């Protein structure tokens, strides 16, 4: 089937470009502000996309241009452009019903792709329980399914379904959803030495690590999850890689250093485009670490424990702790090109990915995926100083406490979310409030997992987006005043408060 679809996929390759995703959201936002007729807007939109396709084909015609473009291509962009954006922006009329044919088709293609991959497995090797599916079809099929079921569910239920699905794909996908039978066999070979698979980054292989591209999400899908996880990892893994690049070798124009730098920069562009297009929504909807943390929060609620609302100094302390820890770890990653034969820098042994050694995700995600036997183990004291072991234990305790005693206290410290948070004001999502309809009842502040009070207290500015907001939309969902709170994307209203007791 892949051979049959390949010519179509080649022609549609510009759709996988993160640059097109950026252009399209900007075009939508710009066109919404024009006093033009709907027809003129549609024409201008088609023209913009057409010009991008033409320029893309022209640049792709040169080898260097083709590689430059390819590093910024990702199946996430194609799914975002053809499934997520129309689902958010199309008015719910006959055109939306017509659009739904596309997700149905994508689900069908994903199913056929799975069957096709399974049929290619040698007869005597069938009978395993893993699903073989190429990442592009898995992402398309899963997203299309979510778009199809969304009208049938309440917002709270839909959010749980999305988070559960992302947890399964990002934490369990490394060993449950391999992209081909060869990939599955390679995974089995790696699993013969589970300790090696967990601990040695160079030996793990995320499902989406192929053809030199790296796929990162602005959340915490840990790279150390069993079998390497589904995507390459979180944005801190990417920035650590960037820090590890030997700039001296780049200056000497060493092809391997330049190749590594190009691949990371390509992934960074994709990451920034998605931060710009979605802000911190990944924290509220995708991040497996916060989903696992919310399970702890669920226990707190069931046990009847009161939740602690951190005061402003505590919030600031968490923020600066996160910035400080992230900076120290990134500075250590910079030592990588200068390690001696024993892996030491200035007499101290430094791990390959210093931040990963102190991140709770490296402890939590593997256990969630493979049970206690997959526990990664704390760093030992032989690092030369106890920073990693002590920091890891402290942050693990803070993570558990952050969700048991409070709600998402951890997410204030998380450096992954901080980067995406920069795009909350100025990015494409905007949490808007009609102050004329607000009675400052405080429900929005009560349900907010980040304990943001600004949505309640702000009565002059229509834009109530803030750095901390994870765009979970609980405030919009629970607001008792119809059309008081709304979430907008590129100028279009995606959801608004409609009180449901």
Q: Which residues bind other proteins (CB under 8 A)?
A: 6, 10-11, 19, 22, 26, 43, 46-47, 50, 53-54, 57-58, 60-64, 66-68, 70-73, 211-213, 250, 253, 255, 258, 261-262, 265-266, 268-269, 272-273, 276, 422-423, 425-427, 460-463
Give the whole-angstrom CA distance, residue 216 versus residue 209. 10
For the chain, give the number of residues: 501
- Least separation, in Å, of the C-beta of 59 and other proteins? 10
Cβ closest to other proteins, residue 70 vs residue 328 = 70
Report the first-to-last Cα separation within the chain, whole angstroms: 48
List, in order, residues 6 or more apart from 2 with CB less than 8 Å away: 113, 116, 134
- Least separation, in Å, of the C-beta of 231 and other proteins? 17
- Least separation, in Å, of the C-beta of 287 and other proteins? 22
Token digits of residue 248: 């001296």
Give the whole-angstrom CA distance, residue 408 versus residue 458. 22
Token digits of residue 458: 């702000």
Pairing of strands 485-489, 216-217: unpaired
Q: Using alpha carbons, list the distances in angstroms from residue 195 to 47, 224, 366, 376.
A: 54, 11, 11, 8
Cβ closest to other proteins, residue 43 vs residue 371 = 43
Give the whole-angstrom CA distance, residue 413 versus residue 171. 22
Give the whole-angstrom CA distance, residue 114 versus residue 120. 10
Give the whole-angstrom CA distance, residue 133 versus residue 129. 13
Q: At what angle do helices 255-278 and 235-244 cross, to 10 degrees?
A: 150
Nearest-5° Cα angle at 230, 266 to 208: 40
- Least separation, in Å, of the C-beta of 167 and other proteins? 29
Cβ closest to other proteins, residue 137 vs residue 410 = 137
- Least separation, in Å, of the C-beta of 489 and other proteins? 14
Cβ closest to other proteins, residue 53 vs residue 118 = 53
- Least separation, in Å, of the C-beta of 53 and other proteins? 6
Cβ closest to other proteins, residue 54 vs residue 295 = 54
- Least separation, in Å, of the C-beta of 461 and other proteins? 4
Cβ closest to other proteins, residue 95 vs residue 381 = 95
Give the whole-angstrom CA distance, residue 421 versus residue 61. 37
Cβ closest to other proteins, residue 42 vs residue 97 = 42
Instruction: Classify 17 as helix, strand or coil.
Output: strand
Give the whole-angstrom CA distance, residue 381 versus residue 82. 50
- Least separation, in Å, of the C-beta of 271 and other proteins? 10
Cβ closest to other proteins, residue 351 vs residue 427 = 427
């Amino acid at each position: 089937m892949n051979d049959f679809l390949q010519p179509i996929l080649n022609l549609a390759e510009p759709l996988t470009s993160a640059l097109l995703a950026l252009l399209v959201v900007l075009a939508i936002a710009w066109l919404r502000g024009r006093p033009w007729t709907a027809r003129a807007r549609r024409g201008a939109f088609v023209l913009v996309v057409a010009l991008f396709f033409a320029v893309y084909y022209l640049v792709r015609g040169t080898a260097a241009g083709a590689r430059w473009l390819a590093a910024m291509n990702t199946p996430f962009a194609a799914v975002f452009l053809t499934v997520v954006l129309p689902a958010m922006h199309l008015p719910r009329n006959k055109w939306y019903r017509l659009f739904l044919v596309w997700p149905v088709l994508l689900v069908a293609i994903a199913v056929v792709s799975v069957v096709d991959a399974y049929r290619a497995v040698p007869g005597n090797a069938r009978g395993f329980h893993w699903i073989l599916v190429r990442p592009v079809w898995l992402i398309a099929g899963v997203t299309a399914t979510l778009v199809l079921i969304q009208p049938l569910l309440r917002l709270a239920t839909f959010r749980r379904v999305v988070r559960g699905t992302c947890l399964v794909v990002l934490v369990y996908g490394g060993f449950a959803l391999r992209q081909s039978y060869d990939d599955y066999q390679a995974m089995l070979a790696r699993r013969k030495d589970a300790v090696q698979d967990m601990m040695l980054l160079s030996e793990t292989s995320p499902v989406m690590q192929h053809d030199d591209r790296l796929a990162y999400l602005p959340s915490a899908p840990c790279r150390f999850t069993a079998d390497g996880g589904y995507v390459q990892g979180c944005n801190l893994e990417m920035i650590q890689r960037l820090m590890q690049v030997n700039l001296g070798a780049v200056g000497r124009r060493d092809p391997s250093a330049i190749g590594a730098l190009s691949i990371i920069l390509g992934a960074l562009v994709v990451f920034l485009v998605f931060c710009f297009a979605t802000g911190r929504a990944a924290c509220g909807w995708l991040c497996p670490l916060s989903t696992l943390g919310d399970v702890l929060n669920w226990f707190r609620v069931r046990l009847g424990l009161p939740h602690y609302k951190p005061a402003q100094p505590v919030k600031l302390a968490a923020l600066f702790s996160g910035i400080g820890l992230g900076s120290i770890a990134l500075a250590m990653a910079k030592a990588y090109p200068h390690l001696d034969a024993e892996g030491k820098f200035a007499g101290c042994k430094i791990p390959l990915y210093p931040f990963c050694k102190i991140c709770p995700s490296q402890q939590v995600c593997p256990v969630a995926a493979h049970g206690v036997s997959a526990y990664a183990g704390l760093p030992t004291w032989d690092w030369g100083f106890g920073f990693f072991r002590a920091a890891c234990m402290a942050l693990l305790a803070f993570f558990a406490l952050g969700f048991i005693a409070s709600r998402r206290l951890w997410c204030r410290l998380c450096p992954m979310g901080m980067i995406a948070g920069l795009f909350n004001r100025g990015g494409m999502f905007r949490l808007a409030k009609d102050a004329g309809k607000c009675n400052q009842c405080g429900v929005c502040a009560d349900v907010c997992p980040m304990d943001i009070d600004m949505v309640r207290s702000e009565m002059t500015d229509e834009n109530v987006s803030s750095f901390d907001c994870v765009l979970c939309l609980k405030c919009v969902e629970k607001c008792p005043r119809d059309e008081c709170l709304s979430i907008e994307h590129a100028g279009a209203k995606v959801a608004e408060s409609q009180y449901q007791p």
